[in-house]
């Protein structure tokens, strides 16, 4: 095993949170894809890897618009978010062959959303037995692949699937 990643506790405890007034989802598209782990850019939304993933290959589809709820997005943006969700499913299947996915969004602070001021849609690949005792007894999640290595593997899959 190359890496053991600490679970989301660094984020939850605030150590990894951006300064007040900075939205990581508005800031990310202003930088290059490899630095920010952006996998695909659409016209109205983009796909980015979660740097505090629930599981290996966890990505998010984010609108460029800074809104806190999907009901504030126009139909074109909502459509692109779902099309990028389908693109993500195809690309992650191609690159990682998961057996299933969890899809969803946390809207509002009380729902568990870590970044509740900018709506985003989660795509979490799943495999049988992908959870183990580590998160329960050690508050540590074991992820078998470094995020930069995974990005380098997923990016070509996204490019290939986007052409189809």
User: How do residues 8-49 score in pLDDT, each as one tens digit?
Assistant: 455 445 555 666 778 999 999 999 999 999 999 999 999 999
CA distances from 127 to 6, 56, 124, 132 (A): 20, 10, 10, 12
Domain boundaries defined on the chain: 5-16+23-64+79-163
Predicted confidence at residue 6, as pLDDT, reads 47
pLDDT(135) > 60: no
Q: Please state the pTM of the whole predicted model.
A: 0.84
Report the pLDDT averaged over residues 134-143: 53
pLDDT at residue number 162: 96
Catalytic residue among 40, 58, 120, 122: 120
pLDDT single digits (tens) 106-121: 988 888 777 889 999 9
Topology classification of domain 5-16+23-64+79-163:
HIT family, subunit A (3.30.428)
122 in catalytic set:
no
Please, what's the b/e burial string for 33-53 (b: 16 or more CB within 10 A of its CB; e: otherwise)? beebbbbbebebbbbbbbebb
Report helix, strand or coil for 46. Answer: strand
Contact present, 75 and 63 (Cβ < 8 Å): no
pLDDT of residue 54: 83
Cβ pair 152, 77 in contact under 8 A: no
């Amino acid at each position: 095993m190359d890496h053991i990643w600490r679970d989301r506790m660094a984020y939850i405890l605030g150590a990894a949170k951006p300064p007040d007034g900075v939205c990581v989802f508005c800031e990310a598209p202003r930088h290059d894809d490899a630095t920010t782990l952006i996998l695909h850019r659409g016209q109205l939304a983009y796909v980015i890897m979660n740097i505090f993933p629930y599981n290996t290959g966890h990505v998010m589809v984010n609108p460029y618009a800074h809104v806190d709820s999907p009901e504030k997005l126009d139909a074109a943006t909502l459509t692109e978010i779902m099309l990028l969700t389908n693109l993500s499913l195809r690309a992650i299947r191609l690159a990682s062959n998961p057996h299933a996915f969890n899809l969803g969004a946390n809207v509002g602070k009380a729902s568990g959303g870590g970044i509740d001021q900018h709506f985003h849609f989660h795509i979490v690949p799943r495999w049988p037995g992908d959870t183990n005792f580590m998160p329960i007894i050690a508050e540590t999640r074991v992820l078998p692949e470094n995020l930069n290595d995974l990005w380098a593997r997923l990016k070509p899959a996204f490019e290939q699937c986007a052409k189809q």
